[in-house]
Amino acid sequence: MTPLWVRLWHWATAVAFVILMLTGVVLTYSSAEFALIDYELADMLHQVVGIVFAILFGLFFVAAGVSGYWRRYTNRWQGLGSRVYRHGSAVVSGVPPTAGQRYRTQSRLDLSRGFLVLVQQFLYILSIAILSPLLIITGILLFFPELAPDKVAGLAGLWTFALAHYWAGLAGALFLLFHIYIATIAGFRRLIRGR
């Protein structure tokens, strides 16, 4: 059972990330001739929602630490590589990973669902451990450019952080699309009811 606070945090973070993604597209690709929304509005929304995203992320870590919810992530991480390999092999061979002498025949589509859910778990952990902190840190440095070092690896510091923020945002957008696809396979009920 997924606790209510985790589901609420998940939906709030998802809405914030979608807004950040859309405003980021406007800030990056708008021109004088075409913009999805007003550039000034997009800039203000991106900054405000970015701060909300960072606060939500910090609150999640505090709540997960206090409630012990963080143990779910350590349990999922343990043996994840071998489970992904087993399920991936099952998709290729057509034999379920738990098959003994006798096994129920499953379609490759059914086998691939388990594999995709495991891949999604792996990517979710990476998004929590690497992607979100990278977006938040680079976003803070872009929000307060005076904090950025002048040079990073021989390149202009702020430019390096802007590029890292851009690529992390693209990776986050790809993760979001994959995450939505997996939710259509696994069902949205768990995110609503917690089961």
Q: Of 174 and 192, which is predicted with more confidence?
A: 174
Question: pTM here?
Answer: 0.79
Q: Of 6 and 102, which is predicted with more confidence?
A: 6
Round to whole Å and give the CA distance between 17 and 46: 10
Domain count across the chain? 2
Which pLDDT tens digit goes with each residue over 30-76? 877 777 788 899 999 999 999 999 999 999 999 988 998 877 766 66
Q: Please tell me whether residues 190 and 133 are part of one structural domain.
A: yes
Domain limits at 53?
Answer: 1-78
Which of 168, 136, 164, 174 lies closest to 53 in space, CA to CA? 136
Which pLDDT tens digit goes with each residue over 94-135? 666 665 545 556 666 666 776 777 777 778 888 888 999 999
Q: Please tell me whether residues 122 and 74 are part of one structural domain.
A: no
